[in-house]
Structure 1
């Protein structure tokens, strides 16, 4: 944790509410006259509905309506074709567009074919079981491996081809490597299920409680869909029980619920079930990658070629930054990347924590370990020999980079000197011991945001922003920023967030919220401080003639820093000036100087594993994660972010895999019993280290994002440790006992 005394660790401001049940999530809200709806999913993966029998469902007790493609209320904004944006894929033919309950066309297994509405959830669930359909079934394409050769180049910023230097220069390098790496489908599976509560309070007045990572984004999406002024749509999401990326868009079923709520004239709530979480809210796409790498005998990289092919839906293209890390991570003169999509009969993927980079880092960082072994070099030493002092992709400096220090501190903490270079060299009892490490990186963004700060005469401070706190402790971090600027005691600061009635904020994602919203809070609080300074230093004021830089504000007292006896209490200053509140709202965004730099957060992950050669069981017994993410605003929640990333990384490396029976195009483990996430027994004590050096460019706090780098690269560290323990390289995740045994036999 940070040793900065200005930022002592504090408990989460919402911690007590969450552990006592006082925090209200979207499904906790109930409105008078509220109805409930349940989705009925398709039983085929591709084809058309030939008949729908809804009579029994319509006649069931408490049923208010059964909505299908035959009677779905119109959604005005859904008339435009899918795709066709200036930087996106071409428009799809109308028969290939997925508009929920708009046609008998089936694009994926589990696609909603009916929405049953009743006066209770139980009645809606029972009535949904009575809906029967027959289909004209077609063969569903769901196996990416069988269709890799059909990949197409996406349009837009992500994907396509990138090249510098010579293509395929690795072929003439003294030492070469070519290997394939596979990431399976991974599903978000947060504790809180997806859903929405919609209530039309007027013909063009809408109130929404939703599971969304951005209330303003949901507001705009609904305004576009229903062609009404965004100001007439009120979206509330104060608490969210895990997002991981599934809440980064407004899903079709949410829009359908809003339309049906208007039709029935009652508030309407949808909470999907666990199996529907696998099909209706996105997932990390199945991705096949090839790394071709060459180096000279001194351990200098000559060339890297990185190709990735990922799944997308037949009805919508989804792209992510899978190959981007390879373009700049290491100083290499010849680099080429290629990204392709294969359209399958599957629901569309979505960004999942560490989007793209987590997938790409597994391949790149595994390959770096493999090459280091071929060169007989320590994996850290190999990376240091190819350290990029400046960004080789854009040929510009980094705003800050302290990765060398991160390597050293992490190596010291894990006991890297205990690692044996030769695999199969360490054994304790029945277990082979291995050590592995890897690097992670993610872009450090600063988006535009607004915030309001209100300092009252009683010394209390209220900070407001529409931002949704999806769990990383955003409210706590904003509290710390306000405290550091104004010196108001932590227990006198209240943060209000997660509501469109508050100043606009970007969607919680991309590890950018503290940089964006935190900067707006910093600016608003700084404006309040400036107002206080002007009041105190004006002619006749208690600190007349003093300059702002001479004054300090601590615990509600404004004083001269070098003459602390000269001071004035803030409440007295406001009272004498007849002020009950100082109210400042600020818009904040990065300046043009940011275009001169490449801004990234970096991480280094170290693990120790034990592998049982008789059973193939892998245990992560020690984990150290080091974050180089600028100034640490809130040390305790920052450490929590890194711990969460390690837990997710262990799941990614060892257990998580959504399996499809390709005969039917259907998941076979769409539940938390069979889809294995890491549990307490899988996760060791985790040591987190932060470099905690401010970035001088990105924002006034010097803070960069941490959420994504907590996971990116971790799976490769585990795979590398398994190789060190066993001498066997597993390149397709997860590293399950059967794969380890197959390699050992």
Structure 2
């Protein structure tokens, strides 16, 4: 449970709805005369379609239509379909530089690529008819193995991915103590409980109703407006509840756009719910990445140079990049830092951001290397980090807006029992088990974007707060209610929060740990505007609090009172009634200011773990976890603790179990299901202690709150790997750390 917060913990405002079945997810919506879509995926990873037979499927019971590259309805924003025989790339990208357009050519770019979409009046009939679609192919040898194609890596376009040098490039080479190590993170797949999909219905020539799995209803609205060349106001998108996102719903995928086009063609609502195996191929993944870290330090442990080179996969048809080497540029005080980042095009579906995007991958390598160097120097890993601690951002040469990482190190170490750790690996045992302790740091950019919120205060003291943000599960609605409560004093049970619909005020996508800072600020500001309106009414001539300075009023339990004279007070309901107002209705846009250019703003975390390793079986168990968050003021303690615990679960999966395996002969996943792709389950996750520093950042936003969702995961896998080394004396640099790898090292 989160400690030392200034706000009392409250239950999730939508918790009861979720556990009683009242929360409605996109696939649960029904429409009259609705049809169902089932995707037929390719059986090869590279080549062209030689022939495709859809006649049996078209004649199957209940089938409304079968769509392939031969009859796919045009999508205006994707330009005209390819002409001639359908071979070769189409003339224009659908969005964001993407060259792949679903069902528009014979070309196959990755395994599982949709070659047909079958529409029928029931899901079962659509599934059966899809099994009747038969295709033959002109096969080509797929290129899906990153390890064998590392030499083909190219530097992506754009300043963010350019080589970085501070001081001397590869300055580590001059140091008396050096380390070089390669770390590999395999493909990880988003596997939330809820499958991806969409339900679309055209209610007019330029009007669409959409229920979708999206991390941003406004973004989906914009994407569909661009694709179909209609005004955004004609597109209504609704996503109030979502069964996990992790980043896969940060873009509108081609199959979603295709469903909207097909719905217009058939003149009926169309619902697509993807299968679990399709979740592996059609909605992105964390890219397979190989990294090399070089460290150089003097004999006292002061860093002299760091070099970090990373190569990740992308698709043959689209460049995907992420901030894998970003953390290395500023995390430690080091005069010579150089980073290089490259991508390799492969015959695979394009990757997408996944929780802790880039930073989680990079932190695994950097924080593992820091642990290795500490051991080489015979230093405690925390001591080594403190020797290289920086109070200012060395990348941008400016101060941090707030940083309390030293306190986080100390509190986490005390909670895990760090003094029990031996600096000499293999010294701790508990019966037949080897016991080890590990730690690592995490960091993620903390920013504040632009959002609009509406607040409606009723004369009965109830409050409605509205914003178009999507809550993908972290408890955004609860945080909005808590912020409104803190500003206006309205009891949480009398606050109704509405979100997840394009009819509501504008908000960004939920991703990158920005929503509490961005949307929370809008809620804070609009509720402050309501409070100001109340104060003006209460202090004008003839009012009960006339003559009292408006900024000295306090609002609690439906009463306005003078803070220096509690005897002077008035009920909000009476005040509004006397002013002939049934509501105070305010809408306000909020955004950050110049402070974002003056300070480097980051959230930090420190993860501590205790592991037990069985030297006979190679099994690794995380027996204790402590995660410390330095992310400003904690707005909602319970959901904050939940975020950190969720990060631990994901981190255990990254460290010990998760790996999407491809048979490179065919370019196909061999474990595209939850029986063979192992996510961490309850038995894998120990009791987790979460600690928050809970000190407000004085510059980022009115609440002083920073994001927590990403730092909950970033660095955790390294903490586990470091603990395994401390237990066994064996360094495993390729995740996941499975029993076979442990045994291979121990033998």
TM-score by length of 2: 0.98
Name the SS for the 1:671 alignment partner. coil
Name the SS for the 2:341 alignment partner. strand
Query: 8 Å contact 2:291–2:309 — kept in the other structure?
Result: yes
Say yes or no: does 1:48 pair with 2:48.
yes
Say yes or no: does 1:433 pair with 2:435.
yes
The residue correspondences of 1:345-356 to structure 2 (distance < 5 A) are: 345-356=347-358
Name the SS for the 1:158 alignment partner. helix
2:110 to 108, 123, 126: 108
> How far, CA to CA, are the matches of 1:203 and 1:526 in structure 2?
42
TM-score by length of 1: 0.98
Q: Per-residue deviation at 1:549?
A: 2.5
The residue that corresponds to 1:733 in the other structure is 735
> How far, CA to CA, are the matches of 2:579 and 2:354 in structure 1?
52
> How far, CA to CA, are the matches of 1:439 and 1:308 in structure 2?
19
Change (3 A) 1:80 1:724: farther
The residue that corresponds to 2:318 in the other structure is 316
1:525 to 523, 527, 531: 527
> How far, CA to CA, are the matches of 2:470 and 2:16 in structure 1?
18
The residue that corresponds to 1:86 in the other structure is none
Query: 8 Å contact 1:213–1:247 — kept in the other structure?
Result: yes
The residue that corresponds to 1:68 in the other structure is 68
The residue that corresponds to 1:213 in the other structure is 215
The residue correspondences of 1:81-120 to structure 2 (distance < 5 A) are: 97-120=99-122
> How far, CA to CA, are the matches of 1:381 and 1:707 in structure 2?
27
Q: Per-residue deviation at 1:92?
A: 9.0
Name the SS for the 2:160 alignment partner. coil
Query: 8 Å contact 2:439–2:608 — kept in the other structure?
Result: yes
Query: 8 Å contact 1:160–1:340 — kept in the other structure?
Result: no
Query: 8 Å contact 2:78–2:227 — kept in the other structure?
Result: yes
Query: 8 Å contact 1:81–1:97 — kept in the other structure?
Result: no
Query: 8 Å contact 1:655–1:676 — kept in the other structure?
Result: yes
The residue correspondences of 1:392-411 to structure 2 (distance < 5 A) are: 392-411=394-413
The residue that corresponds to 1:87 in the other structure is none
1:622 to 612, 624, 643: 624
The residue that corresponds to 1:266 in the other structure is 268
Query: 8 Å contact 2:79–2:92 — kept in the other structure?
Result: no
Query: 8 Å contact 2:78–2:93 — kept in the other structure?
Result: no
Name the SS for the 1:365 alignment partner. helix
Query: 8 Å contact 1:322–1:356 — kept in the other structure?
Result: yes
Residues 60-115 of structure 1 deviation map (CA, whole Å, 9 limit, x = unaligned): 00000000000000001012999xxxxxxxx9999993100000000000000000
> How far, CA to CA, are the matches of 2:93 and 2:354 in structure 1?
28
Q: Per-residue deviation at 1:697?
A: 0.5
Change (3 A) 1:390 1:249: same
1:695 to 691, 694, 697: 697
CA RMSD of aligned residues (A): 1.4
> How far, CA to CA, are the matches of 2:32 and 2:537 in structure 1?
50
Name the SS for the 2:290 alignment partner. strand
> How far, CA to CA, are the matches of 2:655 and 2:629 in structure 1?
20
The residue correspondences of 1:653-732 to structure 2 (distance < 5 A) are: 653-732=655-734
Q: Per-residue deviation at 1:160?
A: 2.1
The residue that corresponds to 2:382 in the other structure is 380
The residue that corresponds to 1:608 in the other structure is 610
The residue correspondences of 1:479-628 to structure 2 (distance < 5 A) are: 479-628=481-630
Query: 8 Å contact 1:96–1:314 — kept in the other structure?
Result: no
Say yes or no: does 1:275 pair with 2:265.
no
Q: Per-residue deviation at 1:592?
A: 1.1
> How far, CA to CA, are the matches of 1:194 and 1:706 in structure 2?
25
Residues 577-596 of structure 1 deviation map (CA, whole Å, 9 limit, x = unaligned): 00000001110000012200
Structure 2, unpaired ranges of 5+: 83-90
The residue that corresponds to 2:85 in the other structure is none
> How far, CA to CA, are the matches of 1:556 and 1:580 in structure 2?
15
> How far, CA to CA, are the matches of 1:396 and 1:664 in structure 2?
50
Query: 8 Å contact 2:364–2:718 — kept in the other structure?
Result: yes
> How far, CA to CA, are the matches of 1:103 and 1:698 in structure 2?
48
Q: Per-residue deviation at 1:391?
A: 0.1
Say yes or no: does 1:742 pair with 2:744.
yes
Residues 212-270 of structure 1 deviation map (CA, whole Å, 9 limit, x = unaligned): 00000000000000000001100000000000000000000000000000000001000
> How far, CA to CA, are the matches of 2:137 and 2:2 in structure 1?
60
> How far, CA to CA, are the matches of 2:81 and 2:393 in structure 1?
39
Name the SS for the 1:495 alignment partner. strand
Q: Per-residue deviation at 1:3?
A: 5.8
The residue that corresponds to 1:639 in the other structure is 641
